A and B are shown apart, each in its own frame.
Chain A
Amino acid sequence: MIQVPIVWPVAAPIVWAAWVFGVIAVILALRVWLDLPSNRVAGLRSSALWTAVCLGCVWLRRYDPTPVSWLRGSLPLGWGAILVLGLAAWAGWASMRRVGKNSRLQIVFGRFLVHISLILGSIVFAIPFAWLLVTSFKEDVDMASPHGIVWIPKVTKTVPYVSPENPLYRAVYQGQSVEANRAFVMPDGRWQMAVERPLGLAGFTFEVRKNEVVQIPRNAPLVTTTVQGRRAQGKVVQERENGARVVELDTPPELAGKRLELPPNELRPVREFGLRWQNYPEALDYLPPEANRGLTYLRNSTLLVVLNVLGTLLSCSLVAYAFARLRFPGRNALFAILLATMMLPGAVTLLPQFLIFRELGWVDTLYPLWVPALFAGAFNVFLLRQFFRQIPLELEDAAKIDGCDYLKAFWKVMLPQVRPALAVIAVWTFIGAWNNFMGPLIYINSPEHLPIAYALQLFNGERSGEPGLLMAFASLSMLPVVLVFVFAQRYFIEGVTLSGMGGR
């Protein structure tokens, strides 16, 4: 075991920037000596530029004069690790020697390196997703662990147990099948029941006749404990009000059937690998009744997506067609205005638009979230116009000779030609509409009009202490976008290529 000393500077971001720019300047200055004489002026100029930027950062430092400090520590390396590292270094050196002499090997080796880096990179990018999924299947006890993150979820083993002292019934409450306890027997012989599941109705009481309910088994958690110095396993059949659990032992055989009352800290649940699927239905159970177990949110988001996509496609293609193919006075001026509007930040029109929609009485409806799509967004028009312009004029002329008017020519001849661009726009609009957050935040007030993205933010506020439920809901909220992406990947990639715009 040896300790490899390491140091790391702790500095304000501006200091880091100064260092980076300084290094760039020095490298450029050094290169000047190696470069051709004709390039020296340009090299010196760029070196001077970066030096100036570096000095600018030094000057900016006065606003954050935190002194640079050094973290000192050491990396403990076991002999095994040293051996592995040494072997790797030797293998690398040896193979490089061989590879250097053989150009075919060079290519193979290069590919190998590329794959290694790509695999490592994708692991890093996939970890948050993996964490999201794993967390959405965890039990609460696994959310925090002093031994590091729990990556393999476990579930508590249960056995069905028809409990005579604490029976559970399946009953119908307001047309919904529920699991309920019997709270007490009423004087007229009817039973008062208290709902246990689904969680959204938990605690609601209602009355039934005895023949209207069916007893069903409970899921009794299995636990292990120590009885008379021996390890014993059993199931929890009852929870007392003081927190104690009544355990019915199963093993060892001679104690089977014996009942013990034990405090919870003497019991260890039997847990095995498994996914807690219940997080998903439970997350939906916690939603308000108007949400209809999330279906309302799904409907709203879907409606918005469909209307936005249809509206955008229709309006943008018509407008783009006109700008591309029809000659009318003022066309170029109007198109210049259209291009200029792309620079306008949404923030400028945010407040007056709110007032407009208020005057229309559209606050707390879905209209403000899709009606603007009918009025052709500048960027999509620009993109489509480029496409329309590439279509040979002859095609349209032929259609006109056949007696088509403009609309017909547009619909029959032109539109099919720009299908790839339309697909791209459709996909982008889909993502944009599904992910829209600020719009609903401003316009939507009632639970029956919430789209999923905003519902997730509200759920986040209400269930902030329960990552299992939260991650379950989050993964549900991103599922449609991920599916669309996986199936329409081509259009995404093409879309960026076509439009030259990166990401959102």
Chain B
Amino acid sequence: MRPGQRAFGHLALCLLAGVLAPLSRSQATVSVWGVRPGPDAKGTEALVREFERRNPDLRVRTMSMGAGEMSPQKLMTSIVGRVPPDVIFQDRFTLSDWASRGAFLPLDRFLAQETGPDAVKPADYYPAAWSEAVYDGKVYGIPYGADDRILYYNRRIFRAKAEQLRSAGLDPERAPRSWSELLRYSKVLTEFGPNGELKVAGFIPNWGNSWLYLYAFQMEADFMSPDGRTCTLDSPRAERALQFMVDGYKILGGYNAAQKFQSGFQGQENDAFYIGKVAMKIDGDWVLNPMGRYAPNLDFGVAPPPSPDERLAGKGIFAGMSPYATWIGGFSYAIPKGAKNPGGAWRFIRFATSLEGREIENRAQRDFERLRGREFVPRNQAHIQANEELVREFTPANPHLAAAQKMHVEMARYGRIRPATVVAQVLWDEHVKAIEKACRGEATPKEALLAGQAVVQRELDQHFRYYSRPKTDFRGPVAISVAIFLLGLGAFWIHLRRQPLGRLGRHEALWGYLLVSPWLIGFLVFLLGPMIASLAFSFTQYNVLNEPRWMGFENYQALATTERENVLKAFGNVFYLAGIGVPLGILSGLTIALLLNREIFGVRAYRTLFYLPSIVPAVATAVLWGWILVSDPSKGLVNALWSKTLEPWLGAALPGWLSVADWAKPSIVLMGLWGAGGGMILWLAGLKGVPRSLYEAADLDGASPWRSFWSVTLPWISPLVFFNVVTGLIGAIQEFDRVYVLKGSGGTIGPSDSLLTPVAHLFVNGFSYFKMGFASALAWLVFAVVLVLTGIQFWVSKTWVHYEADR
């Protein structure tokens, strides 16, 4: 062995040893997810440091990990993977969903031990906030915030449009009070540009934070029946609320126009509300701090969220009710099941939710903001006393902010919470889809809500039916398959003994088995075993936290019936992506290859440039193109070009790209074309394989270059063309990275699920909803489609494609 080799061997050994050394885990760590002391969150930092100072035996590790962005996948994989954090700062309305699956620890045990004056007591909290953290009689979280939504309006715009408002019979000095008034204000305040694009939006129904929930709560609609077994998303009251949203979007020229307008919005100082792009919005108390920081001089007013006209008038079902209602939400601290250090976790939660902890956090944040010359407004607290004391201590000097803070505290009394249900996440996702469908005009509000209700109801039924399903005992089948496997092995052994192998031959065979064993073991453990398991799971209802229960072919039935729409959409999207992307990719790749397939100066440089995009990490590509395709022409590269050429020449409206359902797929195709250089290399290889003699013969026959391309090159590389078509299609079916990065933060993969691919659908079902059974069935469907495609390739390539061997 040469010294270099030896050194290399040592290096490899050391690396291996370093990785294999078990990670030492200190028991005295409390890991907290969902909060993170970033550069701008000094309050959390102070809270954590003070907690550590008082509890020298504990160390806190914080992490944000997307929790709070409604991305439950990370938390779920960590709980299922048995490495959960100790404390999770979780959106309260999802607690019941998680708790019903046994994902969280009930806190009653800790609450029972609470004594003394500073004990954690339900009575200290707003009842709505506390009850949101209770599921099935058990407490699963200690509420932290209590955010509610109110109407914000830009006084400057109101004054500038005072004349128009007055002539429409509206008072420019006050905010709208009822829905109909809100729409009339919006109509007057909305401005369009010369090409019909939005310049100022009066009111965007779902910008800020209202969703359907707020309007439905104002209509006194419930999304769940009191016993929690029936979803009432499609109630006439919710329908009326959704109709209001649809009407609101109509004023703006439709949902797509509004989406496109919104995709150009920026953050911080250039927030659309601060710079007067949006005149009115409904939003929560979290906007106050950024406003104090980025728009201290903004002249804005606040009002209770406008109510349905009949509610304001106190007519009908609203008789005797308060004229206003709002939606209250907020986060809670909870302890996931399987937390390594629940005792430490509880100590942290106690401290973080105590009056003192809240004061420490807010004071530190205020001091930090003051240091930066900014105003600080504390968030609404779920702890009544803390809320009152903080408001007293932290009244902002800015009168607008002070008024807004006061309004938020007052409106908290009229707050309603989202129903505690086991399907909170699905209900949320489906209600988002219903909003999109109805506002886009793809369905009437009733149809959209009914479709969502059906999905939620199905999930609900599945959940309640789980317990009546037969338990699945996999021991029998596993034993049988192991027995079959061993029998086969024995038979093989006997077969082997009978082979006329000499001593040397046997020696060789032994080595052979030894050397292929890595693959063989990998095949058995990582492929065959999982395949069988996945097949078995596909016949069960299985959320990983509880045992699988047998449900026969129901998952496969669901693929063809209830989930049909999604499955068709996913495969439809894929065939669209492949149907347009693959031919264009082949065309551009082949064109470049034909140009490069000659001895010319700088061929290497060209090749590098064309090829480079195809090896860039998919995530980086997606991040990069996400920005290049921003629809605001002052920011997005493509639309900047478009607005200088196609728009003035042809009057072609600027596309919304990734923010609009119709353009999302073309965006992905465009991104894919950028990577066409990957195919180019393959074509180059193929072209190099065409024998020169054929070209020479064609030349002698007087064929033009065009003719010799058609008659020589193309037939020669036709197997490659076909190979590329099929692998392109198979690749598209498994497309995941890019669409996942570009999906946006809503419940859908791309606007209106326009980027949903089979694997993305599988991932969401498997790792966000943990419907392992259904996801497995879907995986087998994907497998079947891939198999069919491969079969077609074999069959067609035999009959149609030109292979060298046939000559």
Contact across chains for A462 and B64 when beta carbons are under 8 A apart: yes
A319 to B77, CA, bound (A): 34
Q: Is A352 an interface residue (CB 8 A)?
A: yes
Shortest A199–chain B CB gap in Å is: 5
SS class, residues of chain B in contact with chain A = helix
A337 to B522, CA, bound (A): 13
Contact across chains for A71 and B616 when beta carbons are under 8 A apart: no
Contact across chains for B39 and A203 when beta carbons are under 8 A apart: yes
Q: Among the listed A114, A125, A458, A500, which residue makes an inter-chain contact with B66, where contact means beta carbons less than 8 Å apart?
A: A458
Contact across chains for A348 and B783 when beta carbons are under 8 A apart: yes
Q: Among the listed B15, B371, B509, B531, which residue makes an inter-chain contact with A307, where contact means beta carbons less than 8 Å apart?
A: B15
Q: Looking across the interface, which residue of chain A has its beta carbon closest to that of B767?
A: A442
Shortest A434–chain B CB gap in Å is: 7
Contact across chains for A240 and B373 when beta carbons are under 8 A apart: yes
18 extra interface residue pairs, beta carbon distance < 8 Å, beyond A203-B39, A318-B518, A364-B78: A71-B650, A121-B610, A129-B613, A194-B368, A205-B367, A303-B15, A328-B509, A346-B734, A356-B526, A356-B529, A361-B82, A375-B521, A441-B73, A454-B619, A470-B627, A492-B615, A492-B681, A500-B685
Q: Is A343 an interface residue (CB 8 A)?
A: yes
A328 to B607, CA, bound (A): 44
Q: Is A144 an interface residue (CB 8 A)?
A: yes
Contact across chains for B515 and A502 when beta carbons are under 8 A apart: no
Interface residues of B in 365-419 (CB under 8 A from A): 367-368, 371-373
Contact across chains for B600 and A128 when beta carbons are under 8 A apart: no
As a 0/1 sequence over residues 56 to 88 of chain A, the CB contacts with chain B under 8 angstroms (1 = contact) are 000000000000000111111000000000000
B270, B516, B596, B745: which has the most chain A beta carbons within 10 Å? B516
Shortest B66–chain A CB gap in Å is: 6
A315 to B630, CA, bound (A): 45
Contact across chains for B511 and A326 when beta carbons are under 8 A apart: yes
Q: Among the listed A6, A303, A322, A489, which residue makes an inter-chain contact with B19, where contact means beta carbons less than 8 Å apart?
A: A303
As a 0/1 sequence over residues 317 to 359 of chain A, the CB contacts with chain B under 8 angstroms (1 = contact) are 0110111001111110010011001011111111111111110
Q: Among the listed A114, A374, A434, A486, which residue makes an inter-chain contact with B617, where contact means beta carbons less than 8 Å apart?
A: A434
Known contacts A349-B531, A477-B617; decide if A127 and B759 are in contact (CB<8 Å): no
Q: Is B321 an interface residue (CB 8 A)?
A: no
Contact across chains for A326 and B12 when beta carbons are under 8 A apart: no
- Chain B residues within 8 Å of A74, by CB: 649
Interface residues of A in 34-67 (CB under 8 A from B): none
- Chain A contact residues, CB within 8 Å of chain B: 6, 8, 13, 17, 71-76, 111, 114-115, 117-118, 121-122, 125-129, 131-132, 135, 143-146, 148-149, 181, 183, 194, 199-205, 239-243, 285-286, 288, 290, 303, 306-307, 310, 315, 318-319, 321-323, 326-331, 334, 337-338, 341, 343-358, 361, 363-367, 370, 372, 374-376, 378, 381, 406, 431, 434-435, 437-438, 441-443, 445-447, 452-454, 456-458, 460-462, 465, 467, 470-471, 474, 477-478, 481-482, 485-486, 489, 492-493, 496-497, 500-504
Q: Is B183 an interface residue (CB 8 A)?
A: no
Number of B residues near A (Cβ < 8 Å) is 154
Q: Looking across the interface, which residue of chain B has its beta carbon closest to that of A181?
A: B371
Contact across chains for B516 and A118 when beta carbons are under 8 A apart: no
Known contacts A344-B783, A358-B81; decide if A239 and B518 are in contact (CB<8 Å): no
Shortest A324–chain B CB gap in Å is: 10
Contact across chains for B635 and A322 when beta carbons are under 8 A apart: no
SS class, residues of chain A in contact with chain B = helix
- Chain B residues within 8 Å of A201, by CB: 39
Contact across chains for A73 and B515 when beta carbons are under 8 A apart: no
Contact across chains for B19 and A125 when beta carbons are under 8 A apart: no
Shortest A71–chain B CB gap in Å is: 5
A358 to B514, CA, bound (A): 28
Q: Is B299 an interface residue (CB 8 A)?
A: no
- Chain A residues within 8 Å of B782, by CB: 345, 347-348
- Chain B residues within 8 Å of A315, by CB: 518-519, 522
Contact across chains for A366 and B628 when beta carbons are under 8 A apart: no
Contact across chains for A347 and B762 when beta carbons are under 8 A apart: yes
A467 to B635, CA, bound (A): 10
- Chain A residues within 8 Å of B651, by CB: 71-73
Contact across chains for A457 and B741 when beta carbons are under 8 A apart: yes
- Chain B residues within 8 Å of A356, by CB: 525-526, 529-530
A431 to B527, CA, bound (A): 23
Contact across chains for A376 and B678 when beta carbons are under 8 A apart: no
Shortest B368–chain A CB gap in Å is: 4
Contact across chains for A122 and B606 when beta carbons are under 8 A apart: yes
- Chain B residues within 8 Å of A367, by CB: 19
Known contacts A482-B612, A503-B614; decide if A127 and B637 are in contact (CB<8 Å): yes
- Chain B residues within 8 Å of A471, by CB: 624, 627
Contact across chains for B526 and A375 when beta carbons are under 8 A apart: yes
Contact across chains for A375 and B522 when beta carbons are under 8 A apart: yes
Contact across chains for A115 and B600 when beta carbons are under 8 A apart: yes
- Chain A residues within 8 Å of B505, by CB: 327
Give the A-B contact count at a CB cut-off of 8 A: 385
Contact across chains for B649 and A75 when beta carbons are under 8 A apart: yes
Stretch at the interface among B219-227, B350-358, B430-438, B773-781: B773-781
A4 to B683, CA, bound (A): 39
- Chain A residues within 8 Å of B509, by CB: 326-329
As a 0/1 sequence over residues 19 to 31 of chain B, the CB contacts with chain A under 8 angstroms (1 = contact) are 1000100000001
Q: Is B592 an interface residue (CB 8 A)?
A: yes
Q: Among the listed A181, A183, A376, A445, which residue makes an inter-chain contact with B74, where contact means beta carbons less than 8 Å apart?
A: A445
Q: Is B604 an interface residue (CB 8 A)?
A: yes
A479 to B769, CA, bound (A): 36
A243 to B368, CA, bound (A): 17
Q: Looking across the interface, which residue of chain A has its beta carbon closest to that of B492?
A: A330
Shortest B528–chain A CB gap in Å is: 9
Shortest B602–chain A CB gap in Å is: 8
Shortest B477–chain A CB gap in Å is: 14
7 of the cross-chain contacts (CB-CB < 8 Å) are A6-B649, A71-B650, A319-B518, A361-B82, A375-B518, A375-B526, A453-B618
Contact across chains for A353 and B530 when beta carbons are under 8 A apart: yes
- Chain B residues within 8 Å of A76, by CB: 648-649
- Chain B residues within 8 Å of A322, by CB: 511-512, 514-516
A234 to B633, CA, bound (A): 34
A337 to B596, CA, bound (A): 39
- Chain A residues within 8 Å of B637, by CB: 127-128, 131, 149
Contact across chains for A329 and B779 when beta carbons are under 8 A apart: no
Q: Among the listed B83, B508, B779, which residue makes an inter-chain contact with A363, where contact means beta carbons less than 8 Å apart?
A: B83
- Chain B residues within 8 Å of A355, by CB: 533, 544
Known contacts A365-B23, A470-B627; decide if A144 and B634 are in contact (CB<8 Å): yes
A442 to B544, CA, bound (A): 14
Interface residues of B in 682-711 (CB under 8 A from A): 682-685, 688
- Chain A residues within 8 Å of B679, by CB: 502-503
Contact across chains for B39 and A350 when beta carbons are under 8 A apart: no
A121, A367, A381, A501: which has the most chain B beta carbons within 10 Å? A121
- Chain A residues within 8 Å of B82, by CB: 358, 361, 363
Known contacts A329-B495, A482-B612; decide if A288 and B36 are in contact (CB<8 Å): yes
Contact across chains for A326 and B515 when beta carbons are under 8 A apart: yes
A409 to B652, CA, bound (A): 68
A111 to B615, CA, bound (A): 29
Q: Is B252 an interface residue (CB 8 A)?
A: no
Contact across chains for A329 and B499 when beta carbons are under 8 A apart: yes
Known contacts A144-B635, A288-B36, A364-B78; decide if A125 and B678 are in contact (CB<8 Å): no
- Chain A residues within 8 Å of B19, by CB: 303, 307, 366-367, 370
Q: Is B425 an interface residue (CB 8 A)?
A: no
Contact across chains for A326 and B499 when beta carbons are under 8 A apart: no
B268, B601, B619, B632: which has the most chain A beta carbons within 10 Å? B619
Contact across chains for B80 and A358 when beta carbons are under 8 A apart: yes
A78 to B517, CA, bound (A): 74
Shortest A166–chain B CB gap in Å is: 11
A328 to B515, CA, bound (A): 11
Q: Among the listed A125, A318, A372, A477, which residue makes an inter-chain contact with B609, where contact means beta carbons less than 8 Å apart?
A: A125
Contact across chains for B617 and A376 when beta carbons are under 8 A apart: no
Q: Among the listed A121, A204, A443, A489, which residue makes an inter-chain contact with B604, where contact means beta carbons less than 8 Å apart?
A: A489
